[in-house]
Amino acid sequence: MSKVRNQLLRLLLEKKSDYLSGEEISRLLGISRAAIWKQIEELRKEGYQIEAKQRSGYRLVYRPDRVAPEEIYPHLQTRHFGKTIRFSFSTPSTQILAHEWAREGAEEGAVVIAEEQTAGKGRLGRSWHSPPGTGIWMSLVLRPSIPIQAASHLTLLASLGVKEGIEAQVPVPITIKWPNDLLIRGKKVCGILTEMRGDLDAIDYVILGIGINVNLSKEIFPEELQKKATSLMIEAGKHIHRASLVASILKCLEDRYQQYLAEGFAPIREKWEQASQLVGKTITAHTFQGSVNGVVLGMNEHGALLIQTENGVVPIYSADLDLAASV
Ligand code: BTN
């Protein structure tokens, strides 16, 4: 997206419902009337409705629901998260872009966000359905000074932060399915993918990939997902403003991250156990080594789920949980 396009849109947004004269735009951006007109036409193609009136200038009358930086920044209340955002209309995966950016030196809190992913990545090599204009598909760069063994804490604090960020904006009850799926009435509404680079001594960077089904209608989900997945719009019964939701999530994520760096994992673990509503439930954990059936006791200090089985307590570090047996 061109720099001039972004500058012009920012000027129109700042004016709110007032007119911005062509002369003023020309002066502020140093471009000709013809160039202004070209940019106005480009914005219109993107779905912005811009009124042009002789002697008054241009006025923004409708903004499409976009997760572009200029829509997110006015809502942002963070210190670092989301202060720099790279936005794409369509990309294979925001994870790929975030890795590239992190390798080039992106600072902590940098965000990559897209309207659409054509090859969205899920956990355990799965794909992530990311249709255009409907969800939040974003990746956040973190550079924590923690040992590599503690990286699983980040996944757990992320699920808590994202849950809190959604609940601050949308009146829906969300539960966390270990390690980091967010569910509404048992159906998945958000998934988190944590990837990192580093060596045994230290983490270089972590990419937290967050996928949230926001304004997807039932028919947009592929048939195989319709029974298992849901969206915030389906559950809340109304369209959700995605840019303010992104800002709310970044704020809650940053708060939980700062708390973790200052106080360690214990307060996160306690909050996570309450929010997950898993403790005391009978579940089956499908691990690479086989299935483990038992009652959830809680989580240990490494973020592993503790399951009371007939043969004693088993810590689960990685698994797909089956809650069918839960009561
Ligand atoms: C899961 O399997 O539950 C994790 C899904 C993570 C999806 C998000 S969408 C933004 C980021 N980019 C990707 O390709 N994946 C993550």
pLDDT tens track for 58-113? 999 998 889 999 899 999 999 999 999 999 999 999 999 999 999 999 999 999 99
| H helical segments located in 16-53 | 22-29, 33-45
Q: What is the pLDDT of residue 1?
A: 62
Answer whether residue 170 shows pLDDT above 60: yes
Task: Take residue 226 and report the two structure tokens written for it.
Answer: 């319709």
Going by their DSSP bridges, the two strands 85-91 and 111-117 should be labelled as: parallel
Most confident of 45-49, 197-201, 251-255: 251-255
- What mean pLDDT is predicted for residues 212-221? 92
For residue 33, how many other CB atoms are within 10 A of its CB? 11
CA of 102 to the centre of ligand 1 (A): 17
DSSP 8-state class, residue 12: H
87, 90, 95, best to mutate for ligand 1 pocket (most atoms within 8 Å of CB):
95
**Lowest mean pLDDT, pick from 8-17, 139-148, 151-160:** 8-17
Answer whether residue 275 shows pLDDT above 60: yes
Position 325 confidence tier, pLDDT thresholds 50, 70, 90: low
Answer whether residue 324 shows pLDDT above 70: no
Decide which of 1 and 17 is more confident: 17
CA of 153 to the centre of ligand 1 (A): 18
Exposed e or buried b per residue across 120-129, where buried means at least 16 C-beta atoms within 10 angstroms of its C-beta: bbebeeeebb
CA of 193 to the centre of ligand 1 (A): 5
Position 46 confidence tier, pLDDT thresholds 50, 70, 90: confident
Contact 132, 115 (CB under 8 A): yes
178, 210, 250, best to mutate for ligand 1 pocket (most atoms within 8 Å of CB):
210
CA of 120 to the centre of ligand 1 (A): 6
For residue 209, how many other CB atoms are within 10 A of its CB? 25
Residue nearest to ligand 1 atom 2, measured at CA: 122
Radius of gyration (C-alpha) of the chain in whole angstroms: 22
Residue nearest to ligand 1 atom 16, measured at CA: 209
Closest CA to 173 of 185, 187, 159, 181: 185
Q: How far apart are CA 195 and CA 192, in angstroms?
A: 10
Q: How far apart are CA 154 and CA 144, in angstroms?
A: 9
Q: Is the dihedral of CA 38, 41, 45, 50 positive or negative?
A: positive
- What mean pLDDT is predicted for residues 103-128? 96
- What mean pLDDT is predicted for residues 34-45? 93
Site residues for ligand 1, CB cut-off 6 Å: 93-95, 117, 120-123, 126, 128, 130, 137-139, 181, 191-193, 209-211
**Which 3 state secondary structure label does DSSP give 148?**
helix
Answer whether residue 274 shows pLDDT above 70: yes
Answer whether residue 277 shows pLDDT above 50: yes
Q: What is the pLDDT of residue 26?
A: 96
Task: Find residue 86's DSSP bridge partners.
Answer: 112
Contact 133, 116 (CB under 8 A): yes
Burial class (CB in 10 A: 0-12, 13-18, 19+), 238: exposed
Q: What is the pLDDT of residue 327?
A: 42
What is the average pLDDT value for the chain, to the nearest integer? Answer: 93
